[in-house]
Structure 1
Amino acid sequence: MPAYKSARHASLSAERRQTLGSRTRLLREEAGLTVEALAQASGIADKHIQRIEGGKGNPTLATLYALADAVGRHPRDLIPD
Structure 2
Amino acid sequence: MSFGKNVRRMRQDKGWSQFQLSEKTGIKVGHISKLEQDEGDPKLSTLYKLMDALGCSPDSLLMDVEKMNQDAILKQTLERAMKLPELNKAAIIEVIDGYCRACGMEQAFIPGNNLLRHFIAPRERLPIPEVLTGSQDAEP
- In 2, distance between residues paired with 1:29 and 1:76? 18
Give the % identical residues.
36
Alignment length (residue pairs): 64
| 2:48 pairs with 1:65 | yes
Shift of 1:37: 0.2
| 2:125 corresponding residue in structure 1 | none
Runs of 4+ in 1 over 4 A off after TM superposition: none
- In 2, distance between residues paired with 1:34 and 1:54? 15
> Does the aligned pair in 2 maintain the 1:38–1:70 contact within 8 Å?
yes
Tell me: higher relative CO, structure 1 or 2? Use CA pairs within 8 A at least 6 residues apart: 1
> Does the aligned pair in 2 maintain the 1:28–1:34 contact within 8 Å?
yes
Shift of 1:76: 2.2
| 2:69 corresponding residue in structure 1 | none
- In 2, distance between residues paired with 1:80 and 1:60? 16
Structure 2: unaligned runs, 5 residues or longer: 65-140
Structure 1: unaligned runs, 5 residues or longer: 1-17
- In 2, distance between residues paired with 1:61 and 1:49? 14
Which of 24, 31, 48 is matched with 2:14 structurally?
31
Match runs of 1:47-58 below 5 Å: 47-58=30-41
- In 2, distance between residues paired with 1:36 and 1:59? 18
Shift of 1:58: 1.1
For normalisation by structure 1, the TM-score amounts to 0.72
> Does the aligned pair in 2 maintain the 1:48–1:57 contact within 8 Å?
no
Shift of 1:22: 0.4
| 1:44 corresponding residue in structure 2 | 27
